[in-house]
A and B are shown apart, each in its own frame.
Chain A
Amino acid sequence: MNENWIEVGSVDDVPVQGARVVKTEGGDIAIFRTEKDEIFALRDKCPHKGGPLSQGFVHGKKVACPMHNWNINLDSGIAVAPDEGCAARYPIMIKDGNILLSLTPDEGASDN
């Protein structure tokens, strides 16, 4: 796969248990940082009714959507059962403390 990595900022720019937004012409992408300092990227759009996941509440490896409290798994973009749905997930690479993002969503992830 042809990955085109773009540097979007340093890990420290994203608050622990929080998120920041990368604005792209194709829409916002949310970059999350967990309590364990893992970084994930998802389309900033909840599979339920499109709520901005970047404004959600990060706990464990999940984010609770600010709109109606669905929980979305950060590593897969898939909603925690019994809710159903999926937010597209983007590849991330960390290099020297910097976050590199690819704008090609992971395979298998639906982008809606």
Chain B
Amino acid sequence: MKEKLVVIGNGMAGIRAVEELLKIAPDTYEISVFGAEPYGNYNRIMLSPVLAGEKTIDEIMLNDEQWYVDNGITLHKGKEVTEIDRVNRKVISADGTTEEYDRLLIATGSSPFIISVPGHDLEGVVPFRDIQDVNQMLDAASKHKHAVVIGGGLLGLEAANGLKEQGMNVTVVHLMDSLMERQLDQPASAMLKSSLEERGLQFILEAQTEAILGKDRVEKVRFKDGTEIYTDLVVMAVGIRPDFTLAEKAGIHCERGIVVNDTMQTFDPRVYSVGECVQHRGQTYGLVAPLFEMARVCANHLGQHGIGRYEGTVTSTKLKVTGIDLFSAGDFNGDENTESLVFQDAARGVYRKLVVQDNRIKGAVMYGDTIDGAWYFDLMRDETDISDFRDKLLFGQAHLGDSGHGEEHRVISLSDNAEVCGCNGVCKGDIVKAITEKKLFTLEDVRAHTKASSSCGSCTGMVEALLAHTVGGDYSVAPHLKPMCGCTEHSHDVVRESIGKIELKSIPDVMSVLDWDTPDGCPKCRMALNYYLLCAWPGEYQDASQSRFINERAHANIQKDGTYSVIPRMWGGDTTPKELRAIAEVAEKYKVKTVHVTGGQRIALFGLKKDELPAVWNDLNKSGLVSGHAYGKALRTVKTCVGKEWCRFGTQDSTQMGIELEKMTWGCWTPHKFKLAVSGCPRNCAEATIKDMGVVCVDSGYELHVGGNGGIKVRVTDFLCAIKTEEEVKEYCAAFMQLYREKAHYLERTAPWIERVGLTYVKEHIVEDEESRKVLAERFLYSQKFSQDDPWKERAEGSDKHEFEPLKELVADLKAG
């Protein structure tokens, strides 16, 4: 017999929890849901666009009634629960419907706050919370002319804008002296007010409502100072109050909300609660992002996975009034311990303020141009050290060496058939359509449904901007720490730390100890885990080749026609007639279609069949040619120029330096590919300043540069330090690579890694702390002992035979076809 789960509240948080539960443990419960509203489940935050006539009710339904049927859920719609009987474990609704429960989930949301001035119950006074309220407002707008909105917060302004769009004459009345004072500082608030005035809204600030007057229907609003205004409709949008009367009546401990712990349990462990009705660590919430996070954690415990804790959420705010861009997050007012960075251009209507403490962003307010809101919000949540780019911070992410993508967020103004994702050929229109039709909320959803942003990721910003714009509000579930992938709750950092601390030494170990949700992971996590284990336990860990991408498994790069490419190493870009002859012979013997000089100073052979590879490698090996790892998340090439041996400007022997670096580092696996270069003078012919690590020779020695990237997003290196001797170059290089190997997330190249952790962090470990540098370099060299066997040689000699041979060759005819 399945256990019974009863959910009270058919809103955004309750049903999200049910959805999450169905994903991870579909067969655990027999589920029934009570909803006081007579519909399926809808997207409450989209009521504002509905009021403004930009959406219809149908368009904002998240789960229609068929969804409940399809998932075997009993929906009691239009039935308000009036009693919870905890002794007999059942709930009873106003019409007498009763359900018994083994577990109960309370998700009753909140109620709009109605100020109890005389006349508040007259006809024509409405709150702004549900479909019924919106219908009332639309009805009033079709018959009447004047509206007053009490409350100049987020909801009030969205209501006012909507009614204005419906043709009404709207006055917003606010108790405070500035609008949205909880989300905006004074300057931003003033800018908002003037642009709303330009659109025709009227404001009365610092006004206290004394009474609402009228005979059958509202006619006037009177204020404390005696003034009165005529109106046909009053919308009360002065705040919300967590709805916990039912829970409190049942004896569940409540304060300002239903008190829950980090696993979303109330004081009665059988009873869970999520959404606006809860109070967690003293905090109540009124935005969806935290509620979605709560829902995830709750589902996880209901599904008996028993991991994951809710630890609170940092929220950010946007106003869903078309044409007005506004963003705020965190502590944007600051105090005596903080500093403010401010950018203001009144003529363009742009304002930005960042509140900073100890070089971390604590809060942000933006008005007019909110393109970088998501970026600041990320920096804030990750507590990123901003000292390295503080001078450019206010100008936004586009000014951080992100060439070619500076305009990316202008996406909103693009036409529908403009291509957003170049990798998968996805246009703006497709993405917007998927978001609205399939009701997508998160970046991951959009990736799964459209493939946009699922490949190189350079359009991620654009897709996020589209999401934010299309679903409005706080679209993304913004967990404090991003899980590695869908198979686990844990972040990359937590997993790596556990591998070391708990001494986990195989992929199955990691998955069982850390409670993976899937039996054997997915490509994302297994490839990452294989790398993390290899890095943590050099010489000890048995590489799991089936947890590697085909290229690394086969030690060659798969091509679009299923053939493979072979690129042998050319140390520091030098070669010899003997090597060239060997390559030429192989090319002829195996009828290689294309022989190409690569961008990495070596020669590639394209179009080889997989079963020929071991023989090809054998032939190359004979002339001393080994694997170039052009297929791996590994040390790739060390590009060099001819340097002082030949060049009239050369200051040091850059070629020899490059060869020695390549001999030291080849064979090494890294979180993403790693490229080095050495230039003989600052003319920099080897392009050292767009490599993961670049060495530029100067008269007095060597300059080291790190974190460069050609490719998708060009990033010029940061200058690390200048040093004198060749030995030092090697030590710094080994130490830097090891720090990157140990600290970066899998598939994070040095450029984004350094942007995440900060150059200061790298300097602290590599430049300023000699001890740390030496220890890192030693660890690097130690692990190299186990990785410098040529993988091609091993395979040419017969290891991994199964990888290269068919299981069987049949000559029989294929029967049907």
Residues on A facing B (Cβ under 8 Å): 4, 6, 8-9, 13-18, 20-28, 31, 34-36, 51-52, 55-60, 64, 66-69, 82, 103-105, 111
Contacts and interface: CB of A to CB of B under 8 A. Distances in A.
Contact of B806 (A17, A21, A35): A21
B371 to A, nearest CB: 29
Interface in B441-496: 448-449, 451, 454-455
A28 to B, nearest CB: 8
A59 B811 contact: no
Contact of A35 (B519, B545, B808, B809): B519
A31 B809 CA distance: 13
Classify the secondary structure of B's interface with A.
loop
B550 A55 contact: yes
B549 A57 contact: yes
B816 A104 contact: yes
Nearest to A80: B448
Contacts of B545: 15
A58 B802 CA distance: 16
B526 interface: yes
B816 A9 contact: no
Contacts of A51: 562
B758 to A, nearest CB: 32
A31 B454 CA distance: 28
Interface in B637-694: none
9 contacts: A22-B809, A28-B806, A52-B558, A55-B550, A56-B550, A58-B546, A59-B521, A82-B449, A111-B817
A47 B560 CA distance: 14
B69 interface: no
B549 A35 contact: no
B808 A8 contact: yes
Given A20-B802, A57-B549, A69-B523, A25 B811 contact: yes
B549 A82 contact: no
A25 to B, nearest CB: 6
B547 interface: yes
Classify the secondary structure of A's interface with B.
loop
Contacts of B811: 24-25
Interface of B: 424, 448-449, 451, 454-455, 518-523, 526, 545-547, 549-550, 554, 558, 560, 562, 802, 806-817
Contacts of B547: 17
Question: Which 3 pairs between the two chains have the least Cβ-Cβ distance?
Answer: A26-B814, A20-B807, A17-B546
Nearest to B526: A59
B522 to A, nearest CB: 5
Nearest to B448: A82
A20 B806 contact: yes
B546 A16 contact: yes
Contacts of B546: 15-18, 58
A14 B805 CA distance: 11
Given A14-B807, A36-B519, A64-B523, 13 more contacts: A4-B815, A9-B807, A13-B807, A16-B546, A24-B810, A55-B550, A57-B523, A59-B521, A67-B560, A68-B451, A82-B449, A103-B815, A111-B816
A73 to B, nearest CB: 14
Given A22-B807, A25-B812, A55-B562, A66 B549 contact: yes
A6 B808 CA distance: 10
Contacts of B806: 20-23, 28
Contacts of A82: 448-449
A57 B811 CA distance: 28
A75 to B, nearest CB: 14
A59 B807 CA distance: 21
Contacts of A56: 550
Nearest to A64: B523
Nearest to B547: A17
A26 B560 contact: no
Nearest to B424: A68
Nearest to A63: B523
B22 to A, nearest CB: 15
A26 B814 CA distance: 5
A21 B522 contact: no
A15 B714 CA distance: 40
A23 B810 contact: yes
B454 A59 contact: no
Contact of B522 (A13, A22, A59, A104): A59
Contacts of B448: 82
A51 B446 CA distance: 24
Nearest to B520: A35
A27 B562 CA distance: 13
Contacts of B449: 82
Given A22-B807, A23-B808, A26-B814, A66 B519 contact: no
A67 B523 CA distance: 13
B542 to A, nearest CB: 13
Given A6-B810, A56-B550, A82-B448, A26 B817 contact: yes
A82 B454 CA distance: 13
Nearest to A99: B807
A82 B550 CA distance: 24
A56 B551 CA distance: 10
Contact of B520 (A17, A67, A103): A17
Nearest to B816: A104
B2 to A, nearest CB: 24
A102 to B, nearest CB: 8
Most chain A Cβ neighbours within 10 Å, of B807, B811, B814: B807
Most chain B Cβ neighbours within 10 Å, of A8, A15, A57: A57
A25 B813 contact: yes
A73 B403 CA distance: 40
Nearest to B518: A60
A60 B520 contact: yes
A68 to B, nearest CB: 8
A83 B522 CA distance: 17
Nearest to A59: B522
A108 to B, nearest CB: 12
B814 A24 contact: yes
A26 B811 CA distance: 9
Given A60-B519, A105-B816, A55 B807 contact: no
A20 to B, nearest CB: 4
Contacts of A9: 807-808
A25 B814 CA distance: 6
B84 to A, nearest CB: 38
Contacts of A24: 810-812, 814
A59 B523 contact: yes
B434 to A, nearest CB: 9
A82 B446 CA distance: 10
Nearest to A82: B449
